Amino acid sequence: MAWFASLLLPLLTLPHALGDENDLIVLADGKRQACRILLETEQKVVYRVKSKTIEVPRGEVKEIQSVERSLHAYLDMIAKADPRDVKALQDLALFAETSDLPGEANNTWIRILTIDPENAQAWTKLGGVKRRTGWELKVRGRFLTLEELRTRVSDWKNALELRTAHFVVKTDAEPERALNVALDVERAYITLYDVLGKPLELYTFDEVPEIQIFADPKDYPAPPVPGRPSWFDRSANVLYVNRQQATEYSAIVAEFTEALIFNAFRRTLGKTGELEPWAREGLKQAFAAAVRPDPGRVVFDFTAPYLPHFQAQASDAKALTLAQVLRAGFASFDSGSDQSRYTAQSYTLMHFLVFYENKKYRTALANFLRESYLGKGGSSNLLEAVGTDEKTLESQWSGYVRSVAG
């Protein structure tokens, strides 16, 4: 079905970023305002109108319609649908069309054609034309048959592009896989905001990171650390993935998490900052450990600890100290003889700070992460945020690691 890649060519004019009119807020006095919802918490709602950010108490808001709410609904519905039920998928595509999800709508019409290649509604929605010899697609002024379309997709320069609510997925791999990736990156986006959005008060981001998945490794740009299956280029806001190393799922999820964190923090705080190295690595490894792969239906379970990291630390006679982890630079997590120790222990430290004693440190951790991104990190600021000294925190962390490791 590789020819379906070329069906996307007419769709490349879809807007890259959401405007300030895609959402709607209705205030208690009945005022209706087209806007972009940036943040919803139990205490407040933050929205943007013509580049002006406005914050109102939650009690003053009567109704909210937003892309994120529609996306939640769409992902729930497609997860429950029979993946080969054309009628259910048609209803989903129409729902997406009326819910400011144009990328999801078009991707669903394409999904329908992978099941029912003669589906007239899907062809029509995608701009196809029924000619004497069958359905054809007009590409750059020419009507092309499926056979002609097939020849376009093996070269990276003709790679397909799938747009979603928050991303662009570009690949020369099979379109069925790409359609599932387009769902799963949005599931990861929703998960990030469900888990971190409220405690960190992260604004939705409307820049559009690009995810490039290379079926042919010769086109895969050389990663900064040789052998990595994926890497995130901050300057270009692009995640590069080597499809031939796709079995290294956790490593790819970790890099994707960096792209999510980078865009969410930059949008929220209005500048390009940096988390402490251990915190960035800890969050990346938390998502990598939590992922439960299921193409198109990926889920994340953060409550279940990744035991190999805890067991490695608990049994390690040369385990790192808290001071070593907190003060480590980025190079410690990228290379060196202790790289695996730094990676594992940043994860256990993050898990500890989130779940220890009924999440007693979770709010303090959230505050520290926001401050550290603004340049107010460091071990002393973490200790001040959690309200304890280094010796006590290290003792609690070590005990937690031993307890989880069993």
Domain borders along the chain are 2-15+70-269, 23-65, 277-405
Residue 1 scores a pLDDT above 50: no
pLDDT band at 146 (very low <50, low <70, confident <90, very high): low
Percentage above 90 pLDDT, the chain: 74
pLDDT band at 151 (very low <50, low <70, confident <90, very high): low
Q: Please identify which residue in the block is written with the tokens 């239906």.
A: 297
Strands 168-171 and 210-214: parallel
Contact between residue 160 and residue 8 where contact means Cβ atoms under 8 Å apart: yes
Name the residue type at position 352. Answer: F
CATH number corresponding to 23-65:
2.30.30.100
pLDDT band at 145 (very low <50, low <70, confident <90, very high): low
Residue 148 scores a pLDDT above 50: yes
Contact between residue 239 and residue 256 where contact means Cβ atoms under 8 Å apart: yes
pLDDT digits (tens, 9 = 90+) for 53-91: 999 999 999 999 999 999 999 999 999 999 999 999 999
Residue 371 scores a pLDDT above 70: yes
pLDDT digits (tens, 9 = 90+) for 268-313: 988 778 899 999 999 999 999 999 999 999 999 998 999 999 999 9
Number of Cβ within 10 Å of residue 79's Cβ equals: 15
Number of Cβ within 10 Å of residue 276's Cβ equals: 23
Name the residue type at position 168. Answer: V
Tokens for 118? 């003669």
**DSSP strands (E only) in 83-141:** 128-131, 134-139
Q: For the residues 33-40, what does the mean pLDDT come to? A: 96
Residue 155 scores a pLDDT above 80: no
Percentage above 70 pLDDT, the chain: 93
Residue 7 scores a pLDDT above 60: no
Residue 5 scores a pLDDT above 50: no
Tokens for 26? 């209705």
Nearest in space to 45 (alpha carbons), one of 31, 66, 30, 29: 66
Q: Please identify which residue in the block is written with the tokens 């820049």.
A: 207
CATH number corresponding to 277-405:
1.10.390.20
More confident residue, 22 or 181: 181
